[in-house]
Amino acid sequence: MDFISEPGINRYILCPKVRPKSCPAMSCQEILEANPKAVSEDYTIVYPNGTTYTVYCKMDTTDCGEGGWTRIAYINMTEPGATCPDGFVTKDYYNIDHSLCGNNLPNPGCLSVFFSTNGLNYSKVCGQIRGYQYHSPDGFQGSLSVGLDSYYVCGYSITRGNPRQHIWTYAGGIHQNNLQNYDCPCNTGFTHNLPPSYVGNDYYCESGLPLNEGFTSLLYPNDPLWDGQQCLGLEGPCCTNSPNLPWFNKTLNGVSNTNYIEVRSCVLYTSTDEDTPLDILELYVK
C-alpha cells in the first residue's frame, strides 16, 4: 500500500507489483524489478513521505556493476550553464576551458556539500569524482594525527550521516614517481602507515603532475585525477589495481539507512598551496 499525495488530496492506493502510472514506484530498484528491460532515464518515484519526484535512474550495468540506482547528486561543469553547488567554490583557471568546483580556505580545513536521499532507504552507494591537481596536494599526509571529522586528506571525503561514517575518499598526491608521505599510498614501494584505518582500502589516489616534473602554482589539466589513465612510474598500481576508476561501488555491510551523504573538499595546508578542484561528481544509492 502506498501513500499518494496530490493537491488537496491525500489517499492510499493498493498498488500491484507491476504499477500503473497512478502508482509511482518507490525506488529505481523497484522499477527495474518490475521491468528488467527498463533503460537509464528520468522516472517519477514516490518517496516515503508521499512526495513524488522526478529522478534519474541508472539501469545499465556499466560503472556501478548493476542497475536500479537512484541518483542523488550530479555535477558536470563541462555542460553549458553548469554551476557549483552551495558549499563549494567556483574556480576559473586560464588553462582549462570550463569552471571547476573547489576550495578557497586560507587555512587547513574542509568545505561541505550535503546530498539528501529524501528518506529513501539504501545499503549501497556508487559514484565518481573527476578532479585536477592544483600546485602540490599532499595526499594523506598527517592524517594519522586527526580523525574522520577533520582534514585528513587533500581531496574529497565522502561520508554518511552524523556521526560521520566513511564511504570513500578521493586523494590527490604530489608526485607520480616518489614515495614520501604526501604521495599516493598505492604507489609501488610506499611504506608509510597510510591511509588511516578509518579509510582502509576504500580510496582512490592519483597525481596529475607530469612524470618527474617539479610542481608550481598551476593547475595541471592534462592528466585528470582518478580517471584511471596516465598512472606512470611508481603510480602504476593506482590505476591497474582499480579497474573501475573513476567509479566506486560500496556495500554498507548490510546496513540499510536513509542518511544524507556529505562530500567534503579538504586541504591540508591552504587552498593557495594545494587543491583538487572537480568538474564531475555523481552519486547513486540503492
Using one digit for the tens of pLDDT, what is the confidence trace for 99-117?
Answer: 999 999 999 999 999 999 9
What's the rounded Cα separation, in Å, for the pair 20 and 33? 14
Residue 67 included in any domain: no
**pLDDT above 70: percentage of residues in the chain:** 92
pLDDT confidence of residue 26 = 87
Q: What's the number of CA atoms in the CB half-sphere (13 Å) around residue 20? A: 4
Same domain as 155, residue 23: no
Residue 37 and residue 100 share a domain: no
The verdict on residue 143 lying in a domain is yes
Question: Strands 155-160 and 89-91, how do they pair?
Answer: unpaired
Count of structural domains within the chain: 2
Domain shared by 32 and 122, yes or no: no
pTM for this model (two decimals): 0.91
Calculate ∠ Cα 152-156-158, nearest 5°: 95
| Integer Cα distance of 21 and 42 in angstroms | 14
pLDDT number for residue 20: 52
In 61-191, where does DSSP find H-type helix?
none
pLDDT tens for each residue of 179-189: 999 999 999 99
Q: CATH no. for residue 279? A: 2.60.120
pLDDT digits (tens, 9 = 90+) for 112-148: 999 999 999 999 999 999 999 999 999 999 888 899 9
Q: CB–CB of 274/267 below 8 Å? A: yes
Q: What is the pLDDT of residues 146-160, one digit of tens each?
A: 999 999 999 999 999
As a whole number of angstroms, the distance between CA 149 and CA 97 comes to: 34
Query: What are the beta bridge partners of residue 257?
Result: 122
Query: Measured between alpha carbons, how far is 203 from 171 in angstroms, rounded to an integer?
Result: 7
Half-sphere exposure of 277 (CA within 13 A, CB side): 28
* 65 within domain boundaries: no
Q: How do strand 261-267 and strand 109-115 relate by DSSP bridges?
A: antiparallel
DSSP code string of 185-227: TTSTT--S--S-TTTTT-EEEE--SPTT----SSEEEEEEETS
Residues 87 and 55 in one domain: no
Asked if 51 and 140 sit in the same domain, the reply is no
**CA separation for the pair 163, 218 (Å, rounded):** 36
Domain that holds residue 49: 2-59
Residues 55 and 138 in one domain: no
Same-domain status, 199 and 125: yes
Residues 150 and 48 in one domain: no
